[in-house]
Chain A
Amino acid sequence: MAVVPDPAGATPRILVFSTINISDPGIDLAGSRHLEYPATVQTMAVPCSSGLKPSWLIHALESGFEGVFVASDGEECAYLPDCAERTAAIISRAQAIMSERGIPASRLKMAALCSVCAEPFANYMREFSATLLALRPTAAVA
């Protein structure tokens, strides 16, 4: 599916934190299969989503990204058996800080993404982009 070019910056900018061994290869595969998603989606890979600091997620949101998406290993994490719980706790901590700063919790999303989850990733990005667009003030959309 082709994504309509949007060079005017009207498409929300999304930062994806991926994991080197599991979710980043899934995002690679989305590209290898030419599954298109908005070009305003950018990715940073880390070894494990349990190593993300809540302050990094907040920093991204306060630096200009409209949304942050954590593509975690879920139950496939080779490092930590409780990775999903740890990452969820990091998201909760970040959302608590976001709440204090008036940032809607829905700007931060987490989902497990496997190394062959190409289509789910492209779908997540299109859906998250639409969600973020709906969060914009009406005047900005118009």
Chain B
Amino acid sequence: MSQPDEPTTGGTERRIGVYICHCGGNISDYVDVEAVREALKDEPGVVVSESPVFACSDGTQHDMIDDIRAQHLDGLVVASCSPKLHQVTFRNVAKRADLNQYAYTQVNVREQDSWAHQHDRAGATEKAIGLVRAGVAKTRLSDPLEPLRIDTVPSALVVGGGVAGLRAAIGLADLGIQAVVVEREATLGGWVGRLGATFPDDTSGADEIAGLVEQIKARRDITVYTSAELTGKSGTFGNYAAELTLHRDDGDKVLTVGVGAIIVATGFDSYLPDVGEFGYGIDGVVTLPEFKELVDAAPSGQLSYAGRRVRSIAYVYCVGSRQPAGGNEYCSKYCCTATIHASLQVARLDASVRQYHLYRDIRAYGRNELLYNSSREAGSTYLKFADDQPPAVAKLAGGGLGVTVTDLLTESRELTIPVDLVVLVTGMVPRENAGLTAVLKLPVGSDGFFNEIHPKLRPVETVVDGVMIAGCCQSPRTVGESVAAGLAAVAQSAALLKKGYAELEPLVATVDPARCIGSGECLTSCPYDAITRIEWDGRSIASVDPATCKGCGGCVPACGQDAIDLLGYTDAQMRAAIEGLIAAEPVKEAVS
């Protein structure tokens, strides 16, 4: 900790504290931390330079707070680990010392320096000097910003009344958040509500949905609208006005509900093969959902199709999945296990049915592997075909169907298997949701499913504040995985709404009215409609709504007048940081 002294200007108005962390030895074993501190101590604006052993320790945090107060610091730079780990920690240090938290810059000299250059101490040290110098340059030009504080209402809208949406609604209500469920269909339950036994535990999907619906009926804090859609959204995060259109026999009715968050759980559609694709359209060739309906409805002891007893079945896997570029390139990951499970149902109905599974790869992961083993023990035969040699399905001259396949596991022999029924194991495809996508401005990936911010670290949040996605509208997944995502969205919603207010990052785009000539180039660059025209000083210019702006900066290069800046990444800051990075000279080892 530095000793208090009289403020000095040092040739600049800013007073910045720089802390270069040893991280035990994680940084200092590979970077000459003292040389970095020495190089930075006379940088314009730097009035405190320290090199703590652990910057994140309680003791060092207190020292920083003391320095900020004693030295009247108005900027803070910590060179340590990735901002993903400790940016919030040091922003809080700044807040505790009454320093604007956006006058803090974290510099990554561990993951992106010491750990990557363990055999180049001089190089890693020179790099660290440049990185810290760039951080100081950005901090020197930082503006004091405040998070946008938004009051929130303790209610949430759930779009989609399938298993993920219904379970999420109950979860919200359990946490004291009013839930409104809007379902496009006339009945609740989605795909799961139409299923009999489901894997992994044979529970009936219809029974599970019925149980959830009973719970919802018994609660006053959940409202459900069926045959209804979300058709409009206004207001801002924390207090959206959601416009619902209810399709009723006597015409559409529109009502508006106030909600703080929105959970989208609109599910999926099943892939529908083209006529002729693997014989689809021939009598006796069905998709997986059609087959499951047949099996669930079958009376004990016998499986029939169109009034004919089924004695043999061929399952053709990966229909509509893992297609070449331009098609559905992804794996739907539930269909292998769903098919294996259905074949076990068939074996229980009639053990004499011959079952042939024609597959590219079996992806019955985790404990679903046990179902795969059980199906083999129950008599199912598995035949593996090559990616470029898919089976062919045709009607046999003597009646019935023939599936021709080259079996890689039996000397690549070509076999024609006569069967009564062919099941095309179809995967999931994104549901048609153009209206909803437009209303919520949801980002859609190249596969057509909705995009989360990060598939692992922020798996249910979208870039639209307060709008979460959950379940198969994100990507193919199982019932359990969909429900888990729904409950994750509940937890995220509660974290946003239970405080009664929320804070948004102020790092948004801003327009310099003096530079803007009103060309309108930026207006079409924002898919979130955050930029509008306003009248300013007798001229039409662009204006950014900070509560709607997502902070991507996509509008910045669209402006031919350089009139738009992204706060935290302004033109001046970026240029100064680049100059800071390149300014470092080769260093000599500090004498310790």
A residues sitting closer than 8 Å to B (CB atoms) are: 2-9, 11, 13, 15, 21-22, 25, 27-32, 34-48, 50-56, 59-60, 63-65, 75-81, 83, 86, 90, 93, 115
Contacts and interface: CB of A to CB of B under 8 A. Distances in A.
Given A13-B582, A15-B578, A78-B453, A53 B120 contact: no
Given A31-B115, A60-B582, A78-B451, 20 more contacts: A7-B123, A13-B582, A15-B581, A21-B453, A25-B82, A30-B111, A36-B120, A39-B123, A40-B123, A42-B131, A44-B134, A44-B574, A44-B581, A55-B571, A63-B582, A65-B578, A77-B451, A79-B554, A80-B527, A81-B451
A45 B111 CA distance: 13
B130 interface: yes
Q: Which of A51, A56, A75 has the most CB of B within 10 A?
A: A51
Interface string B357-390: 0000000000000000000000000000000000
Contacts of A8: 586
Nearest to B462: A78
Q: Which of B108, B116, B120 has the most CB of A within 10 A?
A: B116
A31 B586 contact: no
Contacts of B562: 53, 55
Contacts of A54: 557
B575 A34 contact: no
B527 A81 contact: yes
Given A28-B112, A31-B113, A78-B463, A65 B118 contact: no
A21 B454 contact: yes
Interface string B451-463: 1111111100011
Interface in B567-592: 569, 571, 574-575, 577-579, 581-582, 586
Contacts of B126: 7, 39
B444 interface: yes
A33 to B, nearest CB: 8
Given A3-B119, A28-B82, A34-B118, A39 B578 contact: no
Contacts of A45: 83
B553 A48 contact: yes
A32 B114 CA distance: 10
B552 A47 contact: yes
B463 A36 contact: no
A50 B112 contact: no
Interface of B: 82-84, 108, 110-124, 126-127, 130-131, 134, 443-446, 451-458, 462-463, 507, 527, 550-557, 562, 566, 569, 571, 574-575, 577-579, 581-582, 586
A1 B446 CA distance: 35
A52 B452 CA distance: 22
A26 to B, nearest CB: 11
A82 B84 CA distance: 26
A45 B124 CA distance: 19
A5 B115 contact: no
Nearest to A52: B557
A53 B525 CA distance: 14
A4 B82 CA distance: 25
Contacts of B446: 75, 81
Nearest to B442: A81
B553 A47 contact: yes
B552 A80 contact: yes
B552 to A, nearest CB: 4
A51 B119 contact: no
A52 B367 CA distance: 46
Contacts of A46: 553, 569
B525 to A, nearest CB: 8
Given A6-B120, A28-B82, A51 B569 contact: yes
24 contacts: A7-B122, A7-B126, A7-B586, A15-B581, A21-B458, A31-B110, A37-B116, A37-B117, A42-B127, A47-B552, A48-B553, A48-B554, A51-B552, A53-B556, A53-B562, A54-B557, A60-B582, A65-B581, A75-B445, A75-B446, A77-B451, A79-B463, A79-B554, A81-B444
